[in-house]
């Protein structure tokens, strides 16, 4: 606990005080100078050396050290999406203020039913612990199916206001882009900002995960015509100005043919004399067609078109070939440490949403925190009075947190309740960052595939009334059996299924008891107890060929030890480093816990874990020319697989 009460807590109080003070400066139209803040801002000293904490100056030290700490604090605040405005005052000094609307969306009031479906949606598809889950759900957040980014806050705000955005973006090089944002498209769980390049008519897509600096919302506005918006909404990751459809014919076995027909509704299948099945599928362009062949790997044999056979041969010859740097020269940065400012704001937002407030024990459970830690943080929010003497008291200080204690004589052990209090509706704080509205919109849209509830659509309508209709999602269309799987979850049933796992050609019969459904990378997964294997397993819904029977689930199953079952693969197995050229990054970006490093030669190194060598073989096959394994143990990954496929041509 000493580490909690040390420099971390002083940093927390200083940061939260600075955020709320600069928001108040916006409301009062009185920007604060660095000199005023350094001189007057006081926080509690930790660790406490007497009966109560004494007040100390938040910024102490020589002028250079103070300036560095102040600049670091401003940078951390900006990293959450807040826009700190710099103002030149009449005496030529520099003042600072934060427009609350730069970070917070307008207040949205959800009905009880809408809050319920929001809870469901965030469990089904959300950011996980980084997002709004714990604001609505009373259990700890697990892993999330959506990729979290603080960059959504300024992006969504700019879309709402039709304001120009500037950010650095990593493609072949990392350089500044200035764009007019039009829409956020989500394809297979990956988010792209589709925007018009400033000063041109060119419309391009920017993968959110490749934005490398907090986007800045510029004051310039722009108009959007119907034609440009239509082009933006039609954009795809493999967009071509002049689409050239390709008809592909493959032969495969009956089981895999059945899977393809369900995954591609326009596919045509015909039984051949040798027991094989011929399947014809039309694709928008040759790239998409080639990727289909590579994903199918050995399970199909390409029959036509003939030019694609040559393309495939060239591709296979380049699998995992090339020059890789020594792993010892690659220095990946460690995982991002917990952000105390973001953590504190999440606690505050949960209290804002709870009409009757929340107890310490409830907050501790939701956010997986020690109750003493929660008490420490929330007590600071309820008693925070920074610069009270310089600002005529703190009566309008915007934290609004009131503490209710059942036993004030034993306050330090009481399970106190924290609730929000404000003077009038205009003073009501919003619990939503702009990025939260993006997350809720996507999660609700995904959940609408499983849960048939009018409250989902009314909640989406409220979100889009505030944030505009700025998001479109490409929902999965090949999960015909999803309703039956969800019914088994809801009714606690056991179902017997025909399942084609991973890269297998033949299906297997499994009896499973589904417990939970989540979405990751555009696919729906179900966690179930497999009575066939007598173990907990994860199944991809679109690989279920058929539901053969159902019955009541049994009892006495062992507990599921996997806390984050959706992404647990990212923390297991051998560590692998792959070096890729910029166009091949997208194959590796969805991997859980992947770490990236830009190399001097323009390529990128990615570090991740694999528990199955076959998975790595197929990953390198998909990446093809332009990707090479730098880890010596897996230097041959994909070679045998590529040779076997080539032998079929």
Q: Enter the DSSP assignment of 4.
A: I
- Give the span between the Cα atoms of 428 and 260, in whole angstroms: 53
Residues 2 and 91 in one domain: yes
Q: Is residue 339 in a domain?
A: no
Compute CA distances 450 → 120, 475, 519, 547, whole Å: 10, 12, 11, 17
Within a domain: 341: no
**522 and 613 assigned to the same domain:** no
Residue 594 lies in a domain: yes
Write b or e for each residue in 201-223: b if 16 or more Cβ atoms lie within 10 A of its Cβ, otherwise e.
eebbbbbbbbbeebbbbeeeeee
Is residue 506 domain-shared with residue 594, that is, in the same domain?
no
- Find the range with the poorest average confidence among 107-121, 387-401, 466-480: 387-401
Q: Quick check: helix, strand or coil at residue 594?
A: coil
- What is the C-alpha to C-alpha distance for residues 94 and 38, in angstroms, rounded to an integer? 13
**Same domain? 291 vs 306:** yes
- At 483, list the tokens: 């309703």
pLDDT surpassing 60 at residue 387: no
Over the stretch 625-643, which tens digit does the pLDDT of each residue have? 999 999 999 999 999 999 9
- Give the side-chain half-sphere CA count within 13 A for 42: 13
In this structure, what token pair is assigned to residue 22? 């600069």
Residue found by looking up tokens 């050995």 in the block: 298
On the question of pLDDT at 2 being above 50, the answer is no
Kindly indicate the confidence band of residue 341, based on its pLDDT and cuts at 50, 70 and 90: confident
Task: State the number of CA atoms in the 13 A half-sphere of 160 facing the CB.
Answer: 22
Q: Do 560 and 592 sit in the same domain of this protein?
A: no
- Indicate whether 237 belongs to any domain: no
Answer with the residue of higher pLDDT: 117 or 11.
Answer: 117
Q: For the residues 441-457, what does the mean pLDDT come to?
A: 92
DSSP classification of residue 203: E
Greater model confidence, 373 or 421: 373
Torsion angle of the four alpha carbons 540, 542, 546, 552, in this order, in degrees rounded to the nearest 10: 40
Q: What is the pTM of this model?
A: 0.85
Statement to judge: residues 10 and 87 lie in one domain: yes
Q: Count of domains in the chain? A: 4
Which CATH number characterizes residue 294's domain?
3.30.70
Map residue 380 onto helix, strand or coil.
helix
If asked whether residues 522 and 611 sit together in one domain, one would say no
CA–CA dist 346, 340 (Å, integer): 10
DSSP state of 252: E
Q: What is the mean pLDDT of the chain?
A: 87
Domain boundary pick from 102, 121, 153: 102
Please, which pLDDT band fits residue 426 given cuts at 50, 70 and 90? Answer: low
User: Do 551 and 603 lie in a common domain?
Assistant: no
Tally of residues, the chain? 649
Contact indicator for 554, 513 with CB cutoff of 8 Å: yes
Domain shared by 635 and 552, yes or no: no
Which tens digit of pLDDT belongs to each residue from 247-304? 999 999 999 998 899 888 889 999 988 889 999 999 988 888 999 999 999 999 999 9
In a domain, 626, yes or no: yes
What's 491's domain CATH number?
2.30.30
CA–CA distance, 362 with 355 (Å, rounded to integer): 14
Burial code (b: 16+ CB inside 10 Å, e: under 16) for 514-540 equals bbbbbbbebbbbbbbbbbeeeebbbbb
- Per DSSP, the chain holds a count of helices (H) and strands (E) of 19, 27
Query: Average pLDDT in the 322-327 region?
Result: 92
Same domain, 560 and 577: no
Decide: helix, strand or coil at residue 118: helix
Domain boundary among 56, 77, 102: 102
Q: Which domain does 620 fall in, by range?
A: 327-334+569-648
Closest residue by Cα to residue 149 from 395, 378, 434? 434
User: Tokens standing for 167?
Assistant: 């950010």
The pLDDT assigned to 29 comes to 81
Mean pLDDT of 399-403: 80
The whole-angstrom separation of Cα 314 and Cα 316 is: 6
- C-alpha of 380 from chain center: 30
Quick one: which of 488, 501, 494 has its CA closest to 544? 501
In a domain, 383, yes or no: no
Structure letter (DSSP) for residue 610: E
Residue 236 lies in a domain: no
Question: Tens digit of pLDDT for each residue in 505-527?
Answer: 888 999 999 999 998 888 899 99
CA distances (Å), 282 to each of 251, 308, 521, 589, in order? 15, 14, 23, 27
Q: How many Å apart are CA 342 and CA 345, to the nearest integer?
A: 5
Same domain? 558 vs 574: no
Token pair 């007040």 is found at: 55
Looking at residue 178, the DSSP 8-state letter turns out to be: E
Measured distance CA(357)–CA(354) in Å, rounded: 5
Structure tokens at 609: 């874990």
Domain boundary among 77, 102, 127: 102
Q: How far is the CA of 252 from the CAs of 259, 287, 323, in angstroms?
A: 11, 21, 36
Q: Is residue 51 part of a domain?
A: yes
Mean pLDDT within 20-40: 86
What pLDDT score does 51 carry?
61
Q: Tokens representing 353? A: 């949403």
Has residue 397 got a pLDDT over 70? Answer: no
Q: Compute CA distances 166 → 99, 163, 175, 212, whole Å.
A: 18, 10, 10, 11
Q: Is the pLDDT of residue 391 over 60?
A: no
Write the CA distances from 63 to 94, 274, 323, 611, integer angstroms: 16, 84, 50, 52
Pairing of strands 544-552, 32-33: unpaired
Under DSSP, is residue 163 helix (H, G, I), strand (E, B) or coil? strand
């Amino acid at each position: 606990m000493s580490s909690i009460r040390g420099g971390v807590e002083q940093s927390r109080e200083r940061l939260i005080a600075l955020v709320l003070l600069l928001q108040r400066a916006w409301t009062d139209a009185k920007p604060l100078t660095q000199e005023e803040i350094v001189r007057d801002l006081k926080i509690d000293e930790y660790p406490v050396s007497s009966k109560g904490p004494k007040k100390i100056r938040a910024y102490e030290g020589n002028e250079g050290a103070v300036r560095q700490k102040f600049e670091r604090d401003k940078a951390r605040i900006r990293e959450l999406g807040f826009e700190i405005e710099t103002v030149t005052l009449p005496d030529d000094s520099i003042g600072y203020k934060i427009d609350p609307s730069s970070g917070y969306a307008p207040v949205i009031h959800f009905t009880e039913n809408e809050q319920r479906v929001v809870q469901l949606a965030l469990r089904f598809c959300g950011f996980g612990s980084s997002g709004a889950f714990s604001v609505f759900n009373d259990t700890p957040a697990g892993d999330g199916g959506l990729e979290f980014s603080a960059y959504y806050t300024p992006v969504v705000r700019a879309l709402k206001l039709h304001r120009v955005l500037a950010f650095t973006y990593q493609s072949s090089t990392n350089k500044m882009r200035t764009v007019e944002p039009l829409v956020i498209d989500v394809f297979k769980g990956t988010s792209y900002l589709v925007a018009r390049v400033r000063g041109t008519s060119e419309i391009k897509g920017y993968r959110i995960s490749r934005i490398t600096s907090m986007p800045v919302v510029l004051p310039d506005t722009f108009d959007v015509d119907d034609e440009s918006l239509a082009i933006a909404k039609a954009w795809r990751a493999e967009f071509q100005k002049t689409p050239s459809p390709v008809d592909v014919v493959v032969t495969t076995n009956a089981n895999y043919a059945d899977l393809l027909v369900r995954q591609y509704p326009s596919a045509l299948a015909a039984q051949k004399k040798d027991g094989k099945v011929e399947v014809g599928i039309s694709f928008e362009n040759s790239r998409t067609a080639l990727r289909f062949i590579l994903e199918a790997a050995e399970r199909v044999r390409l029959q036509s078109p003939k030019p694609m056979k040559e393309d495939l041969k060239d591709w296979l010859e380049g699998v995992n070939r090339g020059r890789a740097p020594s792993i010892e020269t690659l220095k990946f940065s460690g995982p991002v440490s917990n952000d105390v400012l973001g953590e504190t704001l999440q606690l505050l937002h949960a209290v804002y949403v709870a009409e009757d407030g929340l107890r310490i024990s409830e907050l501790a459970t939701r956010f997986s925190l020690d109750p003493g830690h929660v008490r420490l943080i929330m007590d600071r929010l309820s008693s925070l009075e920074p610069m009270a003497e310089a600002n005529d008291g703190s009566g309008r200080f915007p934290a609004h947190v009131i503490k209710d204690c059942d036993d004030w004589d034993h306050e330090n052990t009481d399970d106190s309740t924290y609730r929000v209090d404000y003077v009038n509706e205009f003073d009501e704080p919003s619990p939503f960052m702009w990025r939260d509205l993006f997350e809720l919109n996507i999660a609700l849209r995904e959940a609408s595939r499983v849960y048939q509830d009018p409250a989902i659509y009314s909640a989406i309508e409220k979100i889009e009334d505030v944030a505009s209709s700025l998001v479109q999602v490409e929902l999965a269309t090949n999960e015909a059996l999803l309703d039956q799987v969800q019914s088994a979850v809801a009714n606690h049933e056991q179902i017997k299924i025909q399942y084609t796992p991973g890269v297998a050609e033949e299906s297997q019969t499994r009896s499973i008891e589904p417990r939970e459904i989540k979405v990751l990378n555009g696919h729906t997964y179900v966690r179930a107890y497999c009575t066939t294997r007598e173990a907990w397993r994860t199944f991809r819904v679109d690989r279920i060929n058929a539901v053969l029977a159902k019955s009541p689930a049994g009892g006495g199953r062992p507990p599921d030890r996997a806390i984050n079952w959706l992404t647990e693969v990212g923390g297991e197995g051998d560590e692998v480093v792959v070096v890729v050229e910029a166009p091949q990054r997208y194959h590796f970006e969805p991997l859980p816990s992947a770490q990236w490093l830009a190399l001097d030669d323009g390529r990128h190194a990615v570090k991740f874990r694999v528990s199955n060598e076959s998975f790595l073989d197929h990953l390198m096959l998909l990446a093809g020319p332009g990707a090479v394994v730098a880890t010596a143990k897996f230097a041959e990954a994909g070679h045998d697989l590529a040779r076997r496929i080539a032998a079929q041509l």
